Chain A
Amino acid sequence: QKEVEQNSGPLSVPEGAIASLNCTYSDRGSQSFFWYRQYSGKSPELIMFIYSNGDKEDGRFTAQLNKASQYVSLLIRDSQPSDSATYLCAVLPLADGLTFGKGTHLIIQP
Chain B
Amino acid sequence: DVKVTQSSRYLVKRTGEKVFLECVQDMDHENMFWYRQDPGLGLRLIYFSYDVKMKEKGDIPEGYSVSREKKERFSLILESASTNQTSMYLCASSLVGGQGPPYEQYFGPGTRLTVT
Contact = CB atoms under 8 A, between A and B. Distances in A.
Interface in A54-110: 88, 90, 92, 95-103
A97 B48 contact: yes
Contacts of A103: 42
What's the dominant secondary structure at chain B's contact region?
A: loop
B102 A31 contact: yes
B109 A42 contact: yes
A51 B102 contact: yes
B109 A43 contact: yes
Contacts, number: 58
Interface residues of B, number: 26
Nearest to B103: A92
Given A45-B107, A46-B104, A95 B97 contact: yes
A98 B109 contact: no
Contact of B43 (A42, A46, A96, A100): A100
A43 B90 contact: yes
A34 interface: yes
A90 B41 CA distance: 14
A98 B90 CA distance: 13
B35 to A, nearest CB: 8
Contacts of A97: 33, 35, 45, 48, 58
Nearest to B91: A43
Nearest to B110: A43
A102 B59 CA distance: 15
Interface of B: 33, 35, 40-45, 48, 50, 56, 58-59, 90, 96-97, 101-110
10 contacts: A34-B105, A44-B43, A46-B101, A49-B102, A51-B102, A96-B48, A96-B56, A97-B33, A99-B59, A100-B35
Interface of A: 31-32, 34, 42-46, 49, 51, 88, 90, 92, 95-103
